[in-house]
Amino acid sequence: MLVRYMKEEDLGDVHTIEDSIFSRPWKIEDFRQSLYNPNNLYLVVEEQDVILGYCGLWGVVGEGQITNVAVAKQYRGRHVAEVMLTKLIELGRKQGLEAFTLEVRESNRAAITLYHKLGFKDAGVRKNFYEAPVENALIMWL
């Protein structure tokens, strides 16, 4: 697996994964705008020229708001998310980010377990944060 910076030419594959996973997927233009913001950091994981997953964060005043974490369903269980998030945090720290935060569906036990493994701590709940279906978000900080 190769973790690298997301490029413009990745956006079609990234959006295909996004659209297959999330009930309210980002549009390609959402990714494009985030990709070209100099405060943001977006990565993909690829293997044999196939994108397995992607992640990204918005850098704001020394903190990284992790906005996207996704692995294509057929590549789950191979530690793709762990590899890419470890790299995202490493690169964020090199850019001067000192803390990282994210929201995750309360029912997403696999993701919560991974975030705990990476050192994130539970910090609160955002009631009815998610739509389709409506669900609370667990707020986590590293």
Question: Which pLDDT value is given to residue 104?
Answer: 96
Whether the CB-CB separation of 128 and 18 falls below 8 Å is answered with no
List the catalytic residue out of 103, 106, 131, 135.
103
115 is catalytic: yes
CATH of span 2-141: 3.40.630.30
Question: Which pLDDT value is given to residue 131?
Answer: 87
Q: In sequence order, which residues have a C-beta less than 8 Å from that of residue 111 and are 6 or more positions away?
A: 69, 81, 104, 105
pTM over 0.85: yes
Residue with tokens 């490029």: 7
Whether the CB-CB separation of 55 and 72 falls below 8 Å is answered with no
pLDDT in tens, 81-129: 999 999 999 999 999 999 999 999 999 999 999 999 999 999 999 999 9
75 is catalytic: no
Ranges of each domain in the chain: 2-141
In 3D, which of 84, 39, 85, 38 has the Cα closest to residue 59?
Answer: 39
Q: Is the pLDDT of residue 132 over 90?
A: no
Name the percent of the chain lying above pLDDT 90.
94
List the catalytic residue out of 115, 130, 131, 135.
115
In 3D, which of 56, 54, 64 has the Cα closest to residue 18?
Answer: 54
